[in-house]
Amino acid sequence: MKQPLAMTGVRPAALQERADRPARPDEGRSAVALAQAAVRIGPRTIWSDVSLSVDRGDFVALLGPNGAGKSTLLKVLLGALPLAAGSARVLGEAPGEANRAIGYLPQRRAFDAGTRLRALDIVRLGFDGDRWGLPLPVSLPRALGERWSRGREARDRVAEALELVGAAPYAQRPIGELSGGEQQRVLIAQALVRQPRLLLLDEPLDSLDLPNQAAVAGLVARICRDQGVAAVLVAHDVNPLLPYLDRVVYLAHGRAVEGPVREVMTSATLSDLYEVPVEVLHASDGRLVVVGQPEAPAHHHDRHVMGPGEHGHAG
């Protein structure tokens, strides 16, 4: 079996802390605030002068070609990479400080077909991934009592999260046997199980067919609306997200543009960002097609499920 998912990715222990501490008065509505931020890996500046603001309840897509630094941006928000310039606040705190209130779905997840863990076990890992190796209890009866009530709470939360994403019908099935769309819902349930206030989802639509991309996008939008959760979703194609998005961030050439989709995804704005002529075409069905951007997808042959609306944003 592969490593349990709750234990992969960035600073897993910190991510698995409880989300349900009371909100601090200074937290307000801001979920993410980046100002003139820059990040460097080794000698390379990945991006600079990135300003971004995401409020509670907002659903924001993070787009851009392969290697533009989208995953890097999520890692900055998690406090796993320091800024080389500018400032960042996440849920009113320095990056990394509020990780217990963040549901993070890292990029590249796959289960072997033979993985026997059930869907609900995967979600449960998200709930108590950091509970292994507790220090020795001072009082055994008290510790047992706490463990019992915590176990009940965990079962309720897991059931709730599975219900929320529509995965309850296959909760008992081994994750390796589920379809890509079903697995993705289970992983989103895992990110949700601690009732986070911010969701960071790195390409959750990756490898899903179009109906499932739309369904997962709709699900995230509903969670934002109903639970007041902010979501930053890294995506390859804006089209399945168009009906749901509040804002979009477009990363390319070490820079970013941010705003409502119809403002950012225009020929003028993208040409300026790419420094070459780019055309944004509006298909009759409302889809956007970006033509002429320099970076064509170098791989991801599996992604050719998008049909004529595909406009070549790779991972």
The site for ligand ADP (CB under 6 A) is made up of: 41, 46, 64, 66-72, 315
C-alpha dihedral (22, 104, 181, 152), degrees to nearest 10: -40
The whole-angstrom separation of Cα 153 and Cα 95 is: 28
Smallest distance from ligand ADP to CB 160, Å: 31
Smallest distance from ligand ADP to CB 235, Å: 11
- Residue 134, contacted partner among Mg ion, ligand ADP, none, CB below 5-8 A by kind: none
Q: What residue number has its CB nearest to Mg ion?
A: 71
- Residue 32, contacted partner among ligand ADP, Mg ion, none, CB below 5-8 A by kind: none
DSSP state of 236: S
Q: Which two tokens stand for residue 129?
A: 């991934």
- How far from 49 is each of 153, 234, 273, 275, CA to CA, in Å? 43, 19, 13, 16
Smallest distance from ligand ADP to CB 67, Å: 4
Q: Which residues bind Mg ion (CB under 5 A)?
A: 70-71, 107
Smallest distance from ligand ADP to CB 234, Å: 7
Smallest distance from ligand ADP to CB 70, Å: 3
Name the residue nearer to Mg ion (CB basis): 193 or 232.
232
At a CB cut-off of 8 Å and minimum separation 6, what does 140 contact?
none
The whole-angstrom separation of Cα 315 and Cα 312 is: 9
Name the residue nearer to Mg ion (CB basis): 30 or 107.
107
Name the residue nearer to ligand ADP (CB basis): 9 or 315.
315
Name the residue nearer to ligand ADP (CB basis): 64 or 196.
64
- Please, is 151 exposed, middle or buried when counting C-beta atoms within 10 Å of its C-beta (0-12, 13-18, 19+)? exposed
Q: What is the DSSP string of 248-291?
A: EEEEETTEEEEE-HHHHSSHHHHHHHHTS--EEEE-TTS-EEEE
Name the residue nearer to Mg ion (CB basis): 70 or 157.
70
